[in-house]
Amino acid sequence: MDAMAVSALDIEAVVFDMDGLLLDTESLAMRGLAQAAAARGVDAPEEFRHAMIGVPADHCRLLVMERFGADFPVDEFLTEASHWMSELIEVGALQVKPGVLELLSDLDRIGMPKAVATSSSRAKASHHLRSVGLLERFDAIVTRSDVESGKPRPDLFLRAAQLLGRRPGRCLALEDSYNGIRAAHTAGMPVIMVPDLLPPTAEMRDRCLMIAPDLHAVRRLIPRNTEQDAESASILSVDTALLAAGRAG
C-alpha cells in the first residue's frame, strides 16, 4: 500500500484471526499432526504440516490425500490429529498469544468494535475461545461454518465487516497466515501480519500495511491521548509513522 493510502488510514473496527493470532493453536495442531503421522508410521515433515496453516478443513483433506494417496484413511488421520491436539488443550497447553489481552482492553477503551474471522468450525472456535475466556470479548465471531468459502477467499472477512456494520476498507485485519492475509486483502481490508509459524514473504510484505513482531507492536498504533477514549464506537486514526517503520522493517 502506498504512503498516501497509509496516511489517510482511519479504522472503525478490527477483525482478528484466531489460530496463531489470538491463540497458540497452530503449534498444538502441528504437534497433533506429527503424533498422528508417527502412530501410523508415515512421514509428515514440517513443510507438509505448515501447508495446512490457515487452511480450511476441506482443503486440508486434499493436502493429506495428495501426499499419502487416495486410499489413505484421510478422515481417520485428521480425527486422530485433532484428538492429539484436544488432549494437549485439555491439559492446559492452549495459551493466549502475547499482547492479546492488552490489545483487547485498549480497543475496549476507545469503543472499537471487534470480530473474529476464523477458518475453524463454529464448535471448535467457540470451545477454544471459551476455554481461555475470550468468547465474550468480541462483537461478532465468523467461522468456516458460516460462509460458503474459507480463506483465501474473502467470505469470512466480508461477513465480519457486515456483522459489525462497517465497510471492509474501514476494518483493520490482523492475521498470521498467508491465506488469511490473501483473504483480508481480497476483501479490501488493510491488514497487518503478526507472524506465528510462517515467516513473512515478499508477497506478504506487499499485501500488508506492516509486519508486526507481536500484538504489543499493534498496540503502539493506538493513540494514548484521552481524547479518543469513548464509551461507544470511534474512529481510530493509526500512527502512520509506526506503520511506515513496520513496512521498512
Say which CATH number the domain at 141 has: 3.40.50.1000
User: Given 39, 58, 90, which residue is the final one in a domain?
Assistant: 90
Kindly provide the residue ranges of all beta strands, DSSP E only, lying in the chain, ordered along the sequence: 10-11, 13-16, 114-117, 140-142, 171-175, 191-193, 210-211, 236-237
Residue 120 and residue 213 in one domain: yes
Task: Point out the domain boundary residue: 50, 72, 90.
Answer: 90
Amino acid at 21: L
Same domain, 154 and 32: no
pLDDT of 226: 44
Question: Grid coordinates standing for 244?
Answer: 511506515
- Are residues 32 and 145 both part of a single domain? no
Answer for the pair 216, 198: CB distance below 8 angstroms, yes or no: no
**Tens digits of residue pLDDT in 17-44:** 999 999 999 899 999 999 999 999 999 9
**In terms of domains, do 147 and 240 share one?**
yes
d(CA 130, CA 32): 21
Domain region containing 165: 3-24+95-248
Grid coordinates belonging to 164: 459489525
* Confidence (pLDDT) at 30: 94
The band of 225, judged by pLDDT with boundaries at 50, 70 and 90, is low
Residue 3 grid coordinates: 504512503
Give 175-213 pLDDT, tens digit per residue.
999 999 999 999 999 999 999 999 999 999 999 999 999
* Same domain? 68 vs 110: no
Shared-domain flag, residues 244 and 132: yes
Whether residue 116 is found in the same domain as residue 229: yes
- Summarize pLDDT for 71-86 with one digit per residue, the tens: 999 999 999 999 999 8
Whether residues 191 and 145 share a domain: the answer is yes
Same domain, 154 and 121: yes
Give the end-to-end CA distance of the chain in Å, rounded to a whole number: 15
Give this prediction's pTM.
0.83
User: What is the number of structural domains in the chain?
Assistant: 2
Claim to verify: residue 214 and residue 238 sit in the same structural domain = yes
Q: Of 68, 90, 112, which residue sits at a domain end? A: 90
Residues 211 and 227 placed together within one structural domain of the fold = yes
Asked if 79 and 30 sit in the same domain, the reply is: yes
